[in-house]
Every structure is written in C-alpha cells, then in structure tokens.
Amino acid sequence: MNTFFITGTDTDVGKTVATCQLLRGFAAHGLRAVAMKPVASGCTTVDGELVNADVEAHRAAGNVPVPDELASPYRFAPPISPHLAAREAGITVSLDHLAACAAQLQTLTDVLLIEGAGGWHAPLTDEADMQVLAQRLNAPVILVVGMRLGCLNHALLSANAVAAAGLPLAGWIANRIDPNMDRYADNLDWLKRYLPAPMLGEIAHTPDAAGGTLDTPAVAQLIA
C-alpha cells in the first residue's frame, strides 16, 4: 500500500493535474490507484449536490470506483480557504474522520493520493492546517511546483516546511503553468540542485493537462 500527500507551492499550481497524471502513471504499472480530496472548496451545485472539479477529475483518472463520502468527505461552495468555508457552513472538519476515510480507501486500492487544498499551510480549521493533516496521515509528500516567477522561493519554503514537519519529501513535479516563464531551464536546474528530493517529472503546458500520464523511472521508483 502506497499513500502520498500531494501538496503544491500554492493554490492553482496544478496539484489536480499532477494527481491525475500520477494516477494514470501508477495504473500503467498494473496498480489500483485512486485519489482523495479531504476538503474541497469552490464546489458548484448540480442537481442539488455539491460537485467539485478536482474530485471529478480524480474519478476520471482513477481506476477503482470509490464512494464519494470517502473520496471527498467535506465539500463547500465558496472558493475560499477551507477553514472559512467550513466555519460559514457551521461544520468542523474532523481530522479523525479524514484519517478514517483514508484508512477505508486504503483497503480498496494499491496507491492512494491525497490532494491537499491550496498550499502546505492552508488552514483546515482554526487549529489545524494541511501540514497537520499530512502528519496525521503520516504520508510521504509529493510537491507540485507551479513553474512561474516566484516558484523558487515557494518551492524551498514548502520543502523546508515538509522536512520540519518530520515527513519525507518523496519527490517533486515541475508543472508548466506559465508557458512563457523566462529562463525555464535555468529555474528547473536550480530546483533540481536545491530541492532535497528527486524530480518525478515535468508536465508540459497543454490544454488537457489533467488527461495526461506521468510515468517516469522516478515515478516507478516510488512504488518499487
């Protein structure tokens, strides 16, 4: 059983894109692979149900059907920080419940990818954030770096915070969210040198990035 916590240098940097590509990458090795979005904000209402784009993308990329209540335990409409969305909904996010959902999902799959909301310190409640959740799940972390000016700082801050949290950084992914980033290759070289984990791969800037597959030797090494 392999579980990884997917974090990013920020919100909107490609965590969902990378999660979907990894799901297909692990499936290419004959593994059952599913994702969980513990707390989803920015949901829309469809036929009276709260629907989240991340969760829909995960479902399309995963290869094992899983119950919605496990894959996406908390959904909120406003596209705001989860702790504010939960507060406005009068709901307290329970880490115990999230850990129990993850444990149940782990019985249904070979690989479980848990996509955080926002970045590493995005709040879940007034007392806990994504770091605390990742620690509770005790999952190795995969960092998605949104390749745009400013990402070097955010990447090192995130990697240092993961280490300070006592969790292993299993790898990182360079996601080209800005196709026009100046000196892309030089920035990538800097990240390869200073991030204390293997680069699992690069994701090109493409219209249907979430539909791609990330299957590199470094990805295969994660599940060796």
Ligand X SMILES: Nc1ncnc2c1ncn2[C@@H]1O[C@H](COP(=O)(O)OP(=O)(O)OP(=O)(O)O)[C@@H](O)[C@H]1O
Ligand Y SMILES: C[C@H](N)[C@H](N)CCCCCC(=O)O
Residues forming contacts to ligand X in the complex (CB under 6 A) are 8, 11-17, 54, 117-118, 175-177, 203, 205-206, 209
CA distance 131 to 138: 10
> In 3-state terms, what secondary structure has residue 121?
coil
Q: Which two tokens stand for residue 10?
A: 């920020």
**Least CB distance from residue 15 to ligand X, whole Å?**
3
**Smaller CB distance to Mg ion: residue 13 or 105?**
13
Binding flag, residue 154, Mg ion (CB under 5 A): no
CA distance 104 to 48: 26
CA distance 175 to 202: 6
**Smaller CB distance to ligand X: residue 153 or 166?**
153
Contact by Cβ (8 Å): 200, 173: yes
Binding site for ligand Y (CB under 6 A): 11, 41-42, 79, 81, 117-119, 122
Q: Is 14 annotated as a binding residue?
A: yes
**Smaller CB distance to ligand X: residue 198 or 212?**
212
Contact by Cβ (8 Å): 78, 88: yes
Specify whether 192 is catalytic: no
Out of 54, 139, 171, 191, the residue judged to bind Mg ion by CB under 5 A? 54
Q: Is 119 annotated as a binding residue?
A: no
Question: Nearest-CA neighbor of 5 among 130, 103, 145, 94?
Answer: 130
The Cα angle at residue 138 between residues 137 and 142, in degrees rounded to 5: 95
**Smaller CB distance to ligand Y: residue 43 or 174?**
43
CA distance 200 to 209: 16
The half-sphere exposure of 22 on its side-chain side, counting CA atoms within 13 A, is 36
CA distance 154 to 83: 22
Q: Is 125 annotated as a binding residue?
A: no
Q: Is 109 annotated as a binding residue?
A: no
Catalytic residue, chosen from 8, 33, 37, 203, is: 37
Of the listed pieces 46-54, 103-111, 132-140, 157-165, which binds Mg ion according to CB under 5 A?
Answer: 46-54
CB atoms within 10 A of CB 140: 18
**Least CB distance from residue 77 to ligand Y, whole Å?**
10
Binding flag, residue 58, Mg ion (CB under 5 A): no
Q: Is 54 annotated as a binding residue?
A: yes
The residues assigned a catalytic role are 37
Point out the annotated binding site for ATP. Answer: 12-17, 54, 115-118, 175-176
Point out the annotated binding site. Answer: 12-17, 41, 54, 115-118, 175-176
Residues that bind Mg ion (CB under 5 A): 15-16, 54
